[in-house]
Amino acid sequence: MPTKPSKTFETFNNPRPQRDYLIHMEIPEFTCLCPRTGQPDFATLVLEYIPDKKCVELKSLKLYIWSYRNEGAFHEAVTNRILDDLAKAVKPRFMRLTSKFYVRGGIFTTVVAEHRKPGWKPSPQVELQQVEKQPHTD
Of 1, 6, 2, which is closest to residue 62 (Cα–Cα)? Answer: 6
DSSP for 85-130, please give it: HHHHHH--SEEEEEEEEEEETTEEEEEEEEEE-TT--PPPPPPPPP
Choice among 20, 32, 41, 52 that is catalytic: 41
> Quick check: is 34 catalytic?
yes
Determine phi and psi for 112, rounding to 5 degrees: -120, 125
> Quick check: is 41 catalytic?
yes
Choice among 20, 34, 52, 84 that is catalytic: 34
Of 98, 89, 99, which is closest to residue 48 (Cα–Cα)? Answer: 98
Cα–Cα distance list, 93 to 51, 98, 107 (Å): 6, 17, 33
Which residues are known catalytic residues? 34, 41
